[in-house]
Amino acid sequence: MKLRSAIYLASAALVLAALTLAGALPSGAADKVDPVADAKAFRKFFTDKFPKVKLEDFVNGPYSMNEDLYRQWQDKEQFPPYEFSLEMGKEMFSKPFKNGKSYADCFPNGGIAIRQNYPYFDEKEGKVITLELALNRCREANGEEPYSYVKDEMAALTAYMAFTSRGKPMDIKIPNDPRALEAYEKGKEYFYTRRGQLNFSCATCHVQSPGERIRAEILAPALGIVNAMPIYRSEWSGMGTTSRRFTTCNSQIRAVPLSPQDDEYRNVEYYLSYVSNGLPISGPGARP
């Protein structure tokens, strides 16, 4: 099916998705925030839509959609295009700051094999903290300038940290705090809200049309989409962070991008990460 046909079916498909999510809630509780039911319904939607795809393979994005694409991914992994960034990130992570401390001093377990726990909700601050934000806060706390959230340095650092967590299941917690539930719900709302001149939502591409093409790009399923971040994209001829992906998507639908690490972006990352709980970390990834 061409993308144009998929767009014509947009309203019906989103209604179906909304009903699927709402139907997972207990009777009479459609207005209640229920992340556990959401995640269960979200997973069921995709596994029902793509019954031949193994659950853990959804993290491979478009390469999970058919056998030919899957073989392309296997071939690409022999000589991954993100390898240069991974090596750069390992070197950067190990290099001490001017004060003698390092990234390892800022994170549990020395920053190794912790990617699956980000983003998390900070109850003291009352906001979602992503890995990208935590890395820049670490830099600033040690007298270093923050990195751009959409440039190579941040992509390299997160690539290395993701690589140390490969295969570990996403494990995002929502604490018993109404502010955490609000952040999660706002992220969900952002994901399904249409915006921009094209009147697209995130779900227009990644719930309705995964596996379809939009120009040269093959659309990835939303389930497990953040597990592969950061990613190398042929379109960029380089690596991109989660922040870069969000801002690029907004630009592509002719909406005004938010600032990287804006609350809305952090909330939608929180939502997408939570509903992908249990799926393995596969980053850094590569996409067409």
Is the domain of 206 the same as that of 101?
A: no
Is 205 flagged in the annotation as binding?
Answer: yes
Is the domain of 272 the same as that of 194?
A: yes
pLDDT of 171 above 80: yes
CA 33 to chain CA centroid, nearest Å: 21
**Residue 255 exposure: Cα atoms within 13 Å on the Cβ side:** 18
Q: What is the mean pLDDT of residues 275-279?
A: 98
Is the domain of 144 the same as that of 204?
A: no
Could you tell me the pLDDT band of residue 190, with boundaries at 50, 70 and 90? very high
Is 245 flagged in the annotation as binding?
Answer: yes
Is the domain of 53 the same as that of 119?
A: no
pLDDT of 207 above 60: yes
42: in domain:
yes
Is 138 flagged in the annotation as binding?
Answer: yes
Is the domain of 58 the same as that of 189?
A: yes
Is the domain of 121 the same as that of 140?
A: yes
Q: In angstroms, how far apart are the furthest CA atoms of the chain?
A: 58
Is 206 flagged in the annotation as binding?
Answer: yes
Q: Tokens in use for 218?
A: 């093959």
**Residue 95 exposure: Cα atoms within 13 Å on the Cβ side:** 10
pLDDT of 16 above 60: no
Catalytic residues: 249
Q: Which residues of 86-120 are buried (b: 16+ CB within 10 A; e: fewer)?
A: bebbbebbeeebeeeebbeebbeeebebbbbbbbb
pLDDT in tens, 87-112: 999 999 999 999 999 999 999 999 99
pLDDT at 31: 60
Is the domain of 63 the same as that of 195?
A: yes
Is 244 flagged in the annotation as binding?
Answer: no
What is the domain range of residue 130? 83-163
pLDDT in tens, 147-164: 999 999 999 999 999 999
Domain count, the chain: 2
Could you tell me the pLDDT band of residue 236, with boundaries at 50, 70 and 90? confident
Mean per-residue pLDDT over the chain, rounded: 88
pLDDT at 14: 45
170: in domain:
no
Could you tell me the pLDDT band of residue 121, with boundaries at 50, 70 and 90? very high
In this prediction, what percent of the chain has a pLDDT beyond 70? 89
